[in-house]
Amino acid sequence: MRVLILTFYYPPDLSAGSFRAAATVRELAAAMPPGSQIDVVTTKPNRYSTFAADAVSGEANAGVTINRVSLPAHRSGMLDQSRAFVTYARQALQMTARTQYDLVYATSSRLMTAVLGARIARRNSAPLYLDIRDIFVDTIKDVLPGHWAVLTKPAFSMLERWAVGSAKRVNLVSKGFQTYFSARYPGKRLSFFSNGIDDEFLEGGRPVEPPVTPSVRDGQILIVCAGNLGEGQGMHAIVPQLARQLRGRARFRIIGDGGRREMLRQALEREGADNVELSNPVKRDVLIEVYRQADVLFLHLNDYDAFRKVLPSKLFEYAATGKPVLAGVAGYAAEFVRSEITNAAVFSPCDVAGAVQALDELSLVDTPRPKFVAKYARTAIARAMTQDILEVAVNATRSNFAHP
Answer whether 222's CB lies under 8 Å from 295's CB. Answer: yes
Same fold, 2-196+377-402 and 199-372: yes
Cα–Cα distances in angstroms (integers) from residue 270 to residues 139, 168, 236, 274, 290, in the given order: 29, 51, 11, 10, 27
DSSP symbols for 221-246: EEEEEEEE-STTTTGGGTHHHHHHHT
* Chain centre distance of CA 156: 21
Over residues 254-281, the pLDDT tens digits come to: 999 988 999 999 999 999 999 999 999 9
- Helix, strand and coil content of the chain, in percent to the nearest 5, comes to 45, 20, 35
Q: 199-372 has which fold?
A: Rossmann fold (3.40.50)
What letters, b where the CB count within 10 A reaches 16 and e where it falls short, cover 228-247? bbbbbbbbbbbbbbbbbbbe
Q: How many CA atoms lie within 13 A of 50 on its CB side?
A: 16
Task: Please report the pLDDT score of residue 16 as a whole number.
Answer: 85
Over residues 88-113, the pLDDT tens digits come to: 999 999 999 999 999 999 999 989 99
Q: Which of 326, 344, 311 is nearest to 133 (CA)?
A: 311
Beta-strand relationship, 250-257 and 221-228: parallel
Regions of the chain where pLDDT drops below 70 = 46-56, 73-77, 143-145, 203-218, 397-404
Decide: helix, strand or coil at residue 137: helix
Q: Give the Cα separation of 364 and 289 in Å (integer).
A: 18
Strand boundaries in 134-249, DSSP class E: 169-172, 190-191, 221-228
Task: Please report the pLDDT score of residue 385 as a whole number.
Answer: 97
Cα–Cα distances in angstroms (integers) from residue 364 to residues 56, 102, 213, 378, in the given order: 44, 52, 6, 27
Contacts of residue 385, defined as CB under 8 A and 6 or more positions apart, other chains included, come to 24, 27, 171, 191, 193
Instruction: Output the CA angle 177-183-189, nearest 5 degrees.
Output: 70
Contacts within 8 Å (CB) and 24+ apart, 201-204: 201/288, 201/317, 201/320, 201/321, 202/320, 202/373, 202/377, 204/285, 204/288, 204/289
Decide: helix, strand or coil at residue 297: strand
Task: Please report the pLDDT score of residue 210 as a whole number.
Answer: 43
The pTM of this model reads 0.89
Task: Give the H or E element holding residue 26.
Answer: helix 16-31
Bond prior to 281 in cis (omega within 30° of 0): no
Answer whether 218's CB lies under 8 Å from 248's CB. Answer: no
Q: Give the Cα separation of 231 and 261 in Å (integer).
A: 9
Q: What is the sign, positive or negative, of the torsion defined by CA atoms of 280, 282, 288, 290?
A: negative
Q: Where are the chain's structural domains?
A: 2-196+377-402, 199-372
Q: Which of 254, 197, 245 is nearest to 372 (CA)?
A: 197
CATH architecture of 2-196+377-402: 3-Layer(aba) Sandwich (3.40)
Q: Give the Cα separation of 258 and 263 in Å (integer).
A: 10
Q: Give the Cα separation of 235 and 302 in Å (integer).
A: 8
Task: Please report the pLDDT score of residue 300 as a whole number.
Answer: 98
Decide: helix, strand or coil at residue 58: strand
